[in-house]
Amino acid sequence: MLKIGITGNIGGGKTTVSKIFEVLGIPVFYADDAAKKAMVEDDTLISDLKEAFGAESYFADGTLNRKHIAAIVFNDKAQLAKLNSLVHPAVFRAFDNWVANQHAPYVIKEAALLFESTSYKMCDYSLMVTAPLELRIARVMQRDGFTQAEVESRNAKQFSEEKKIELANYIVRNDDTELVIPQVLALHNRFLALAAK
């Protein structure tokens, strides 16, 4: 089964593009949602997180103590890298299991850190949703109520758009200069043709 990875920096519109593919009947795996789920359901990951960040990483009822982990990793690159090195393999496992249960010509993996986590290597092709930084900042400030500094800080933790564009096989421009749906439809037809080979 053909696997397409979709990514984009914060505010770029990768979720919007993924939802269009879903309307076209293509199953989408949302890596961020899978990571949150794995952190409370994947026994291996739970035990690794407790070992790395302390038993207080979880409350007595088994829910994740997000504030505790966030306080450790927020301004510490080494600790954030450690967290990612534990979570990413669990998401990879979840993706493999999910793909095995799909019955479509192709599937999509939507992941903010598609390139950073190296999970693009699990996909046949990658697609980057791009938009200018000013537009992305404005979108996230309006959508999530973040300050400009908060958006810029989150954006700085991802690879640059330029680097992701270099790595991607396909680009969707979500910058209000081109309509997104025709771009997605063209890619959908292309992926169907690739899947049929």
* DSSP of the chain: -EEEEEE--TTS-HHHHHHHHHHTT--EEEHHHHHHHHHHH-HHHHHHHHHHH-GGGB-TTS-B-HHHHHHHHTT-HHHHHHHHHHHHHHHHHHHHHHHHT--SSEEEEE-TTTTTTTGGGGSSEEEEEE--HHHHHHHHHHHH---HHHHHHHHHTS--HHHHHHH-SEEEE-SSSS-HHHHHHHHHHHHHHHHH-
Structure confidence by residue, pLDDT tens digits, 75-127: 788 999 999 999 999 999 999 999 999 999 999 999 999 998 889 999 999 99
- The answer to whether residue 155 scores a pLDDT higher than 90 is no
List, for residues 170-186, the tens digit of each pLDDT value: 999 999 889 999 999 99
pLDDT of residue 153: 85
Q: What integer pLDDT is reported at residue 157 of this predicted model?
A: 80
Reported as a pLDDT band with limits 50, 70 and 90, residue 141 is very high
With bands split at pLDDT 50, 70 and 90, how would you rate the model's confidence at 156? confident
Please state the pTM of the whole predicted model. 0.90
**Once rounded to an integer, what is the mean pLDDT over residues 139-145?**
90
d(CA 163, CA 104): 31
Strand partners, 171: 128
| pLDDT of 4 strictly over 90 | yes
The token duo for 133 is 């930084």
Residue 151 pLDDT grade (very low, low, confident, very high; cuts 50, 70, 90): confident
In this structure, which amino acid lies at residue 104?
A: A
Question: Taking Cα atoms as reference points, which of 161, 170, 173, 167 lies closest to residue 188?
Answer: 170
**Length, in residues, of the chain:** 197
Q: How much of the chain exceeds pLDDT 90, in percent? A: 82
**Section 145-149 average pLDDT:** 90
pLDDT per residue as tens digits for the range 28-60: 999 999 999 999 999 999 999 999 999 999 999
How far, in Å, CA of 135 to CA of 129, rounded? 13
| 17, 184 Cβ separation under 8 angstroms | yes
What's the confidence (pLDDT) of residue 75?
79
Write the single-letter amino acid at 197: K
The sheet carrying 28-30 orders its strands as 28-30, 106-110, 2-7, 125-130, 170-173
CA distance 22 to 186: 15
